[in-house]
Amino acid sequence: MKKKIILKRFLHRDKSRLFFELPPDCYDSFIPVIRSINGNSYSKTHKCWYADDDEMTIKQILRAFRDIADIDISSLAHKPENEQLAASTKKVIISGDGPGLVSTFNKNEKQDAEPEIIPDLESAERLVSRPGFDPVEFRINETDNQLAIRFTGHYDKEWINEIRTFGRFYWDKTRKEFLLPWSIMTGDSLSDYFSSRGVEVKTVKPVPSEILKSSRKEIGDEIRVRQLNEKALEGLDLMKRHLDEIRYSNRTKESYLALLEFFFRYFNIKDPLSITSMEISHFMHDFIITNGYSASYQNQMISAIKTFYKISGKGHINPRIFERPKRSRALPKVFSKDEVKRILNATRNNKHKLLLWLIYSCGLRRSEVTNIRLTDLDRERGILHIKEGKGRVDRIVPVSAKVWEKIDEYMESYGPAKYLFEGQTGGKYSSESVYRVFKTALHNAGIKKDVGVHSLRHSYATHLHETGLDIRYIQELLGHKSTRTTEIYTHVSRLNLISVRSPIEDLDVK
């Protein structure tokens, strides 16, 4: 029978701590395990060991002792006080036997009564309340290039001192949030600071007001019904032929042509080649800025307009004069390894499971996983050949032995003819279907995050970096070629990439 360890929450040196109450006969054998826990130390005042009080540490403790002791976490349902917390009316015992069952029983009940069974360790972790700290909201203001940080509830005063280290900031009394200049370093560093303390960081997307949305629709509808003159139609035809010749993707072609057509309709009867730089400047301000469109939309519009005037070779426009707006950089949305495990285990359908496994274990985009042909899989070399990824760049990625097993199971059940993933009527699986599979898995895993499939690719890269893999290898694995994405691109020998161990090997997924 396993020994029992009681976790209690105390205020020690002005901070909430987790104190270990150990059985005397196991004291020496449990100390080495406690030394592996985050923020471990010994209190001479209380004459016992303690650790950091945050969600990550609680999970670490549960896993560290899972196979060697039962953990009583009943006291953790309360906030810390200056004296020992009273035991709650309900006890929770986590057992390491078998798959890990959690039994709960009321303090006044007889202990031989039939307990309520809650399955698995993850369910037990959800019973443990957060250490008193509520999420922190990050909001990026595209117009002013500012980062707004708001504490949504109970917080640690040290957080304010950390924000001060990033230079000048302003406290907005009305919105009750801190405002400081936005940069990638500031955003990433502060996000890492809060996450490392078990505090959830929520990135809030600014949502246009209903009035603004209504105004956009009214103005946009009026512009879209304007007639295109003959010169504008010729310009669109010229643009289409150019995009076909340089083999832009269908999505890019559709986007550029739609934006350029809207631009021509805005100026209605004017010959596109007679439009001046000043008129374009007014269009950018009066339509895009005034109606609150994003910097990303403005950038796309500029790209479409620049491309047209570059290939037309005429007119009053010099494509070099266009200035692009400063773009905000949204914080990367990354899952923890535990969250990835829950997502990958959230479906029993072999096809859906393999889809998600490949996206995470190989760092694929949605379009890349649907474009995989059977001939792209090289079992002997243990690689997947990604052909014409983003920017029509080929690359190879190593495939984990664990994933090859899943591929074999899938092939035996489905027997695809041409593409690895095919629709019900043949042909390749649609990107929309991949999105629905991911969202269903997210829901089944109990993860409430506003994220897309691409977050699995971000997580793949992040987890590789956390294991110490050189960033140059990660760039090659992800197929990043642009210096705007990677800052410094260094070609890496593909031979070395074959030996890279996928992070999926470290996950307990079946």
Residues labelled as active-site residues: 365, 390, 454, 457, 480, 489
* Residue ranges in 196-336 assigned as alpha helix (H): 210-224, 230-245, 250-266, 277-283, 295-312
CA–CA gap between residue 284 and residue 289 (Å, rounded): 6
Element (H, E) at 203: strand 201-204
- 3-state class of 205 per DSSP? coil
CA–CA gap between residue 169 and residue 181 (Å, rounded): 8
145, HSE (Cβ side, Cα atoms, 13 Å): 6
Question: Residue 181 in contact with residue 147, Cβ under 8 Å?
Answer: yes
Q: In what order do the strands lie in the sheet with 15-21?
A: 41-43, 48-52, 15-21, 3-12, 69-72, 90-94, 101-106, 116-119
Residue 220 identity (one-letter amino acid): G
CA–CA gap between residue 489 and residue 393 (Å, rounded): 14
* Residue ranges in 345-424 assigned as alpha helix (H): 350-362, 366-370, 401-414
Q: How many residues does the chain have?
A: 510
Residue 75 identity (one-letter amino acid): S
Element (H, E) at 442: helix 431-444
CA–CA gap between residue 349 and residue 338 (Å, rounded): 21
Closest by CA to 108, choosing from 90, 93, 132, 125, is 90
Torsion of CA 75, 81, 82, 83, to 10 degrees: -30
In the block, residue with structure tokens 């801190």: 178
CA–CA gap between residue 308 and residue 313 (Å, rounded): 9
